[in-house]
Amino acid sequence: MINQLPASVAINPRFDTWLRFQAGRTVRVATGKVEIGQGVVTALSQIAAEELALDLAQVVMLSGDSDAGPNERYTSSSLSIMDSGAAIRAVCAEARALLAARAALRLNCAVEQLTVAEGVFAVDGAASGVTYWDLADEIDWTQAATGTAAPKDAKDYRIVGKSIPRDDLAEKLTGGAFIHDWLPDDLLHARILRQPGPGAVLQELDEAAIKRAAGGTEVLRSANFVAFVGADEQAVEAAAAIAPGLAQWHGAPSISPGQQEADWLRGQASDDRRYGAPDGAGAGDLVQATFSRPYVAHASMAPSCALALFRDDHLTVWSHGQGMHPLRLNIAKVLDLPESAVTTRHMYGAGCYGHNGADDAALDAALIAVRMPGRHIRLQWRREEEFGFEPFGPAMLIDMSIRVDQDGKPADWTAEIWSPTHVQRPLADSGSLLAAEALKSPPSAQISDDPPEERGGGGTRNAKPYYDIPNSRIIHHLVTDPPVRTSALRTLGALPNVFALEAMMDELANRAGDDPLAYRLSLLSDPRARGVLEAVAARAKWPERGPGGESRGLGLAFSRYKNMAAYAAVAVAVSVDEEVRLKNIWVVADAGLVINPDGIRNQLEGGAVQGASWTLKEQVTMQGAGVTSLDWDSYPILRFAEVPEIEAVVMDQPGQPSLGVGECSVAPTAAAIGNAVAHALGIRIHHMPLTRQRIMASLLR
């Protein structure tokens, strides 16, 4: 018996939202979650096949369709398996129970006598010939699921727990899978001239010069929204390339270089919040340090792209955004259309974890499509546009203040954080869709907000120590007027918070004369947390670590993502001269019941690579009218040649619920690198990225 209906089922209770029995003895299983390179849709198909007792080939997944699938908001926060997986498990288990009850009536037997394989029932082991598809029409699938059917026991699993190859990879590897590759016959290409900033007014645009340089290109303008449209993509691209130099704007922003640094956040206007224990005067020595992360970009390998078609008063939009139902709501609101007149469908994009320009590109395409009915509009951002106008991961400044007791253990812990919002995804308010701000009647400015602590926090995510510390608190200054737009980026505030927290754990261990691993274990009562730390230390040969300070270092770190999802411990070996070189990364994670082990290892490895890139290289730069890091030279990321050997281990816990794993390795990788560099140099670098300039400056002090 399930004690609680999964949240996604409570929101989408009808069976036919999730399941449809189709010809060819297949079942269409729908999810609101989408595939963004994590393999979650394959894992969800494993759950469905397992609970329905089907062969995997009999499950046909439908993902991210606003008309035909459940509304599960966004694919984010490592919740796909925890939320959609739990929902699909409950719905499929109950569907199997309903079908078994009908089969028992038809076969004049008890339900307990029935077994089912590949959708075919057997009575006391003898094949009956009765199938799901024979019975499906006898059941009212418009009814609401109750969540009362017991799912299969983990000991009986035959598909869950196996490394099933991902469904999306073959098409991606052979070309043609991505939204960028889809070219319908009636296609028109489009590009945008962007406002340099909110409130900027276009005073003059030399359209004649644009048309001379890009023959056959049509210029569409609505207030401060300008689009270039035509059948020749090269001509449209040429128009977009020269247009900024032929436009005059009034009210463009002016940004000083100092605003790109996290230090600038201190003292800015903010919405202040406090969480945790009251202020503690606390006896004991006070240990303090300040850490920071700059603004960082999503740096998607391909710029944002969308297609839209307006035909017979209905708008269809194809997007690689991460939430098709919220996107539909917002596009309908901006265009003043009934929500029923808009369909949004997901297609693969070339990599992004968070809120990049995909939703904005979708509205761009929709605005053009409604003015040019009957033609597919393919709107692609330019690389400079992607780097210059997507929402960024916020800069963060973190003051750590810790009182230690007579044994050198933390007795009172304070993290004071300055950060702009981490969440401006389009929801009911369309203010976070860029093109809406350029229209004649732009929406009112969004009020800065951040997820509350009970939902894992935003700027405060993972700021509360998971260790056994008597008193801890978070003081959060939510900066309300940053120089650039910010929103969700993988882990939200967890990476800088864990970077700071785990650095302090190393510093406190050193101060107490303890080994950093032993010090952490002395403060951890959760056996699963201890387990991942001990396992990663064994793989990294921690007892052979040595004293450090000779340009070679070994560091480790631990976190439990959001203090409620998967556990991860990471160890990193580095060498340091003028810059940091990664030698090895070891990751051990405990994600509860594992659906697809290879899929989880891929996520752990990918998280380690992205965490390393942010820690060592990435920073958005800005000056004057806006962002200046507009290409791969000015915004470098970790190169393939710089990726070390990564060993990722998953500690399967079949008796435990599945935990979100997609982001769990990112933050502890950053922290382990910081600790390894400190071990190698004998000096800690507190501010990311750990660039050559910062290393040289630290060594020359």
Burial of 280 per CB tally in 10 Å (0-12, 13-18, 19+): middle
Cis peptide before 547 (omega within 30 of 0): no
Distance (Å, whole) CA 687 – CA 621:
15
- Residue 167 belongs to some domain of the structure: no
Tokens of 29: 């299983």
- Residue 135 belongs to some domain of the structure: yes
> What mean pLDDT comes out for the span 395-413?
97
Of residues 536, 67, 558, 662, the one with CA closest to residue 343: 67
Q: What is the CATH number of the domain that holds 208?
A: 3.30.365.10
Residues 135 and 194 in one domain: no
Flag whether pLDDT at 576 surpasses 80: yes
Q: Which domain holds residue 367?
A: 186-252+298-389
Confidence (pLDDT) at 350? 83
Residues 497 and 597 in one domain: yes
Confidence (pLDDT) at 3? 55
Confidence (pLDDT) at 447? 76
Question: How far is the CA of 40 from the CAs of 50, 164, 304, 627, in angstroms?
Answer: 15, 11, 22, 34
- Residue 276 belongs to some domain of the structure: no
Flag whether pLDDT at 1 surpasses 80: no
Cα radius of gyration (the chain): 27
Question: How far is the CA of 238 from the CAs of 186, 258, 387, 627, in angstroms?
Answer: 21, 34, 19, 21
Confidence (pLDDT) at 164? 95
Residues 565 and 654 in one domain: yes
Residues 150 and 231 in one domain: no
Q: Which of 371, 389, 407 is the last residue of a domain?
A: 389
Flag whether pLDDT at 306 surpasses 90: yes
- Residue 603 belongs to some domain of the structure: yes
Flag whether pLDDT at 446 surpasses 80: no
Residue 663 neighbours by CB under 8 Å, 6+ apart: 77, 78, 353, 490, 491, 494, 561, 565, 607
- Terminal-to-terminal C-alpha distance of the chain: 64
Within 10 A of 645 (CB to CB), how many other CB atoms are there?
10
Reported confidence tier of residue 690, pLDDT bands at 50, 70, 90: very high
- Residue 440 belongs to some domain of the structure: no
- Residue 266 belongs to some domain of the structure: no
Confidence (pLDDT) at 308? 98
Q: pLDDT digits over 244-301, tens only?
A: 999 999 998 899 989 999 999 999 999 999 999 998 767 789 999 999 999 999 999 9
Residues 538 and 463 in one domain: yes
Residues 196 and 106 in one domain: no
Q: Which of 365, 389, 413 is the last residue of a domain?
A: 389
> What mean pLDDT comes out for the span 563-570?
97
Confidence (pLDDT) at 2? 47
Residues 532 and 491 in one domain: yes
Residues 100 and 122 in one domain: yes
Q: pLDDT digits over 474-507, tens only?
A: 999 999 999 999 999 999 999 999 999 999 999 9
> What mean pLDDT comes out for the span 124-146?
97
Flag whether pLDDT at 399 surpasses 90: yes
Distance (Å, whole) CA 95 – CA 51:
9
Helix (H, G, I), strand (E, B) or coil at 377: strand
- Residue 267 belongs to some domain of the structure: no
Residues 541 and 607 in one domain: yes
- Residue 441 belongs to some domain of the structure: no
Residues 146 and 198 in one domain: no
Residues 487 and 409 in one domain: yes
Residues 402 and 321 in one domain: no
Return the minimum-mean-pLDDT range out of 232-241, 272-281, 651-660.
272-281
Distance (Å, whole) CA 248 – CA 203:
6
Number of domains in the chain: 3
Distance (Å, whole) CA 28 – CA 141:
13
Beta strands in 126-180 (DSSP E): 126-131
